[in-house]
Amino acid sequence: MLGNYSMKRELTIGILGAGKLGTTLGRLFIKAGYPVLISGSKNVQDIALTIEVLVPNAVPLLNHEVAQRADIIILALPLGKYKTIPSEYLDNKLVIDAMNYWWEVDGLERIPSDPNLTSSEMIQDFLPNSIVLKAFNHMGYHDLEGESFSEVPKVIAYSGNNEDHKDTVKELIESIGFKPLDLGTLENGRVLEPGSPLFGANLPEEEFTGLLKTF
């Protein structure tokens, strides 16, 4: 896997959630040259060793410290815990929602309960003063790790209502060796949710867009 350890990037990425997805993205963004801050659900000591081993050079902090200090926040915690996101520190920040409703973790009652609402739209409603975009939710963490900078680039699709911040998300996706694909509005992100054929997609652009056309 190629990366660019020598490049230093200015924006600091904060990841809420130090589990499978959070540590994988953390590792990829460190490799791409971004400063990375990361938090788990509790104390810093609880994740310090995990971060030292799995995401060397990332800084473990408390949830609200990550939210406060980072320029861009990635939500990599269980969707059912979304109300614990420190919303008061996220005003005017770009928040990338990578979460999915997964019944085994989040319970049998669908989140959000309103079937007309996508989970990322619900997160935007919860964070009305933040700019929420959806990305990094459809590919499994093992594929993210393994397909970064693959010979034929694999798609990471994203969606959001704020066009001004899409270039930043595009740059983030490219920096870790994937092909960004803009799906339009947050609502359009429904095609990336669990249950959709694109959920789990680890595909080059042509196949990804081909599948998209069948909807």
Ligand X SMILES: NC(=O)c1ccc[n+]([C@@H]2O[C@H](COP(=O)([O-])OP(=O)(O)OC[C@H]3O[C@@H](n4cnc5c(N)ncnc54)[C@H](OP(=O)(O)O)[C@@H]3O)[C@@H](O)[C@H]2O)c1
Helix (H) or strand (E) holding 179: strand 179-182
DSSP state of 138: S
Among the listed residues 70, 78, 76, the one whose alpha carbon sits nearest the alpha carbon of residue 94: 70
Q: How far apart are CB 8 and ligand X at their closest, in Å? A: 26
Q: How far apart are CB 24 and ligand X at their closest, in Å? A: 8
Which residues of the chain form contacts with ligand X (CB under 6 A)? 16-22, 39-42, 63, 76-79, 81, 84, 98-100, 102, 137, 140-141
Rg from Cα positions in the chain: 16
For residue 90 the two structure tokens come to 């996220």
Alpha-carbon span 37 to 203, nearest angstrom:
29
Residue number, 4 or 141, with CB nearest to ligand X = 141
**Which residues lie closer than 8 Å to 53 by C-beta, 6 or more apart?**
none
Q: How far apart are CB 206 and ligand X at their closest, in Å? A: 23
Alpha-carbon span 79 to 87, nearest angstrom:
15
Phi, psi of 56 (to 5 degrees): -55, 140
Residue number, 104 or 163, with CB nearest to ligand X = 104
Residue number, 42 or 110, with CB nearest to ligand X = 42
Residue number, 33 or 140, with CB nearest to ligand X = 140
Closest residue to ligand X, based on beta-carbon distance: 19
Q: How far apart are CB 61 and ligand X at their closest, in Å? A: 10
Alpha-carbon span 188 to 166, nearest angstrom:
14
Among the listed residues 53, 61, 7, 60, the one whose alpha carbon sits nearest the alpha carbon of residue 29: 7
Residue number, 6 or 195, with CB nearest to ligand X = 195
Residue number, 4 or 68, with CB nearest to ligand X = 68
Q: How far apart are CB 169 and ligand X at their closest, in Å? A: 15
207 within 8 A of 179, measured Cβ to Cβ: no
Q: How far apart are CB 128 and ligand X at their closest, in Å? A: 19
